[in-house]
């Protein structure tokens, strides 16, 4: 008889990972992601109501999809949504070396009055989505900004690639009914291969891409979130008539980079007088990390002041 521990281990084998793939004869590449315990770990830092937890879950899947495209370990990818009049006024997630973190700031009183919690426009109002790629080793930083429009964050990201990158893409995200598992897929057209011609010459009606797009859009939400279904099998169901090359899987983990030494280093850049003005009534410089909901109290004596 299979033990509960064995069942749990088998399930987690198909969770918290990103898997890359290419379809070389169709000039396409992609990523497929499924999050499980990692999702719970990040969400548990705050007592988010269900609609906010759902939107953050979607953002974390998108962050994993885009972040896993980075070619260097020191690179960082950040998704940030800011609004002028939305119930959610800030959403930020980032990815670095397989580590994810995310945070949402929102107005609880206005959220309680919202009739439809899945209305993106109602949640965010007028705003924008910024996607930033930092390549530390190459000292390159690129940011694309698009209006926060569409029925979902996934649709907004798909619009980003079409409008800002001129890169035809399919982006799909699903969250299961429990809210504990979320998955997504990103498929992109690469004209004449990864190092092909300028993206501005990409044809949205390219027959190779049209074929891949139609297949990609048939994926079911349950296939993205089923913890029993290996990601390789989900790809096989989509592209079983194609030659698909599966790349190495990336294990994903929660990775808030706040710690005492890092925060002390940031505060030490201020002069002694400025640090003295930061001290609270308890005699500490208290620094909050919204990502992990922790407070770091730092004494002036830590700086030798």
Per-residue pLDDT band for 31 (boundaries 50, 70, 90) equals: very high
Q: Give residue-wise pLDDT tens across range 155-213.
A: 999 988 887 778 899 999 999 998 999 999 999 998 654 444 444 444 555 788 999 99
Higher pLDDT, 40 or 193: 40
| Domain annotation for the chain: domains and CATH numbers | 4-254 (3.55.30.10), 260-303 (no CATH)
pLDDT, tens digit, 9 for 90 and up, residues 120-159: 888 888 889 999 998 776 677 888 888 888 889 999 999 8
How many angstroms separate the CA atoms of 230 and 15, rounded?
9
Sign of the CA dihedral with 116 first, then 118, 119, and 120 last: positive
- To the nearest 5 percent, what fractions of the chain are helix, strand and coil? 35, 30, 35
Residue 55 dihedral angles phi and psi, to the nearest 5°:
-70, -35
Mean pLDDT of 38-58: 92
């Amino acid at each position: 008889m299979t033990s509960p521990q064995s069942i749990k281990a088998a399930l987690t084998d198909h969770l918290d990972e990103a898997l890359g793939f290419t379809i070389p004869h169709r000039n396409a590449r992609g990523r497929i992601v499924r999050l499980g315990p990692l999702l719970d770990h990040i969400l548990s830092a705050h007592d988010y109501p269900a609609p906010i937890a759902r939107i953050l879950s979607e953002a974390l899947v998108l962050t994993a999809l885009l972040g896993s495209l980075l070619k260097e370990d020191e690179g960082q990818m950040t998704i940030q949504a800011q609004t002028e009049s939305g119930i959610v006024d800030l959403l930020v997630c980032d990815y670095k070396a397989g580590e994810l973190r995310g945070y949402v700031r929102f107005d609880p009183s206005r959220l309680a009055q919202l009739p439809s919690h899945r209305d993106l426009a109602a949640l965010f109002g007028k705003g924008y989505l910024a996607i930033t790629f930092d390549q530390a080793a190459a000292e390159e930083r690129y940011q694309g900004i698009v209006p926060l429009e569409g029925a979902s964050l996934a649709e907004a990201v798909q619009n980003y690639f079409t409008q800002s990158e001129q890169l035809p893409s399919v982006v799909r995200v699903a969250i299961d009914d429990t809210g504990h598992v979320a998955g997504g897929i990103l498929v992109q057209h690469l004209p004449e291969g990864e190092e092909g011609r300028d993206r501005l010459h990409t044809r949205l009606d390219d027959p190779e891409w049209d074929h891949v797009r139609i297949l990609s859009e048939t994926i079911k939400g349950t296939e993205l979130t089923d913890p029993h279904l290996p990601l390789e099998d989900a790809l096989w169901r989509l592209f079983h008539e194609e030659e698909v090359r599966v790349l190495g899987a990336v294990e994903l983990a929660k990775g808030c980079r706040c710690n005492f030494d890092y925060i002390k280093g940031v505060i030490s850049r201020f002069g002694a007088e400025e640090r003295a003005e930061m001290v609270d009534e308890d005699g500490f410089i208290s620094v909050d990390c919204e990502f992990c909901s922790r407070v770091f109290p730092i004494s002036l004596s830590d700086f030798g002041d």
